[in-house]
Amino acid sequence: MNGHYRRPAPHMMLPSSALRTNLWLALALAATPAVWADDFISNATGASSLAQMQAAPMTTEATVAAEPAKDGEMPFDLSADNISYDVSGNKVTAKGDGMKQVHVKSERGQVWADQIDYDLAANKVFAVGNVKFENEDKTTLLVERLELTGDMQQGALEHLRLRVPMLGEIAQAGTATVSGTEYTMTDVAYSPCKECIGDRKPWSISSDKVVYRKDHGDMTYKNAVMDVYGVPVMYLPWFRHPLGDAKPTNGLLPPRLGRSDQLGENITLSGYVFSPGENADYTIRNRLMSERGSQFMLERRQNTLTTTSEIDASYLNDTGTGDTRNHLRVEAQKDFTPTRRIGINGEIASDNTYLSEYFDRLDPYLASTVYGEDAGEQHYAALSMMRFQDLNPDVDTDQTAQVYPHLQLDRWFVPSFGGQAELMADVVNIHREDGIRSRRFTGGAEYTRPFMLDDGSKLTLGASSRMDFYMIDNGATNGTITRGLPEATAMWEKPYISPGGYHTIAPQVLAAYSPRGGNNDDKVPNEDSVSYELDTSNLFETSRFAGMDRVETGPRLIYGFDNRWGSPDHTDYRLFVGQSLRQFDDSTLPESGGHATNDSDWVGLVEVNPYNWLKFNNRFRLDNATFNPRRMDTSMQLGQRDGLYLRISHSYLDGGEEELSSEFRVPLTDQLAFRGHTRDDLANKTLLESQGGLVWTRDCYEIEAMVRRRGYSNGDLQPGTDYVVNLRLLTLGKE
- Average pLDDT per block of 10 residues along the chain, 735 residues long: 34 36 40 32 32 33 40 56 74 80 74 75 70 66 56 54 64 73 82 75 87 80 85 79 65 73 83 71 89 93 91 94 94 95 96 88 91 94 95 85 94 93 96 90 96 94 95 79 94 94 95 87 81 88 88 92 93 95 77 67 95 95 91 94 92 90 94 94 90 90 88 76 81 66
Encoded amino acid at 689, one letter: E
H/E segment holding residue 511: strand 503-513
**Neighbouring-strand partners of residue 632:** 620, 652
CB 96 within 8 Å of CB 15:
no
Interatomic CA distance for residues 429 and 425, integer angstroms: 14
Give the amino acid at 119: D
> Among positive and negative, which fits the CA dihedral 518, 521, 524, 525?
positive
At residue 139, the pLDDT reads 60
First to last CA, the chain: 68
Angle at 411 between CA 407 and CA 414, to 5 degrees: 170
Cβ atoms of residues 541 and 551 within 8 Å: no
Task: Decide: 217 and 243 in contact? Cβ < 8 Å.
Answer: yes
Give the pTM: 0.69
Residues 68, 72, 73, 77: what is their CA dihedral angle, to the nearest 10 degrees?
A: 90
The set of residues, in sequence order, having a beta carbon less than 8 Å from that of 639 and lying 6+ positions away, is: 613, 645, 646, 665
Question: What are the CB-based long-range contacts (under 8 Å, 24+) for 384-389?
Answer: 387/346, 389/347, 389/348, 389/349, 389/365
Nearest by Cα to 7 from 23, 26, 20: 26
Long-range CB pairs of 415-424, under 8 A, 24+ apart, other chains included: 418/449, 419/447, 419/448, 419/449, 419/450, 420/447, 420/448, 420/449, 421/445, 421/446, 421/447, 422/446, 422/447
For residue 277, the model assigns a pLDDT of 65
- pLDDT at position 579 is 94
Q: For residue 670, give the DSSP letter.
A: S
Count CB atoms within 10 A of the CB of residue 501.
10
Amino acid type, 265: E
Identity of the amino acid at 734: K
Do the strands 672-681 and 658-667 form a parallel or antiparallel pair, or are they unpaired? antiparallel
CA–CA distance, 720 with 9 (Å, rounded to integer):
90
Q: What is the DSSP letter of 537?
A: T
CB atoms within 10 A of CB 731: 23
Q: Which residues pair with 284 in a beta bridge?
A: 271, 298
User: What's the pLDDT at 593?
Assistant: 58
Ordered DSSP codes for 312-373 = EEEEEE-TTT--EEEEEEEEEEEEEETTEEEEEEEEEESSSSHHHHHH----SEEEEEEEEE
Distance of CA 509 to CAs 451, 562, 574, 610, 685, Å?
A: 15, 11, 19, 29, 42
* CA–CA separation, 380 and 686 (whole Å): 46
Angle subtended at Cα 137 by Cα 131 and Cα 141, rounded to the nearest 5 degrees:
20
Within 8 A by CB and 6+ apart from 82, the residues are: 13, 14, 16, 94, 95, 96, 97
From the number of C-beta atoms within 10 Å of its C-beta (0-12, 13-18, 19+), residue 133 rates as buried
Q: State the pLDDT at residue 22.
A: 42
Report the pLDDT value the prediction gives residue 446, as an integer from 0 to 100: 97
Judge whether 310 and 328 are in contact, CB under 8 Å. no
Q: 3-class SS at 592?
A: helix
Tell me how far apart the alpha carbons of residues 549 and 531 are, in angstroms, rounded to a whole number.
Answer: 11
Beta-bridge mates of residue 636: 616, 648
Q: For the CA atoms of 623, 629, 631, 637, what is the dihedral angle to 10 degrees? A: 140
C-alpha distances out from residue 123 to 46, 92, 143, 144, Å: 18, 11, 22, 22
Distance CA 544, CA 673 (A): 46
Q: What is the DSSP string of 539-562?
A: TTSS--BSSSSS---S-EEEEEEE
Q: Where would I find the beta strands (DSSP E) of 180-306? A: 182-190, 203-213, 218-228, 231-242, 251-260, 264-275, 280-289, 293-303
CA distance 289 to 344: 33
Domain residue limits, the chain: 1-152, 436-618
CA 288 to chain centre: 30
Contact by Cβ (8 Å): 115, 109: no
**pLDDT number for residue 395:** 83
Tell me how far apart the alpha carbons of residues 617 and 612 are, in angstroms, rounded to a whole number.
14
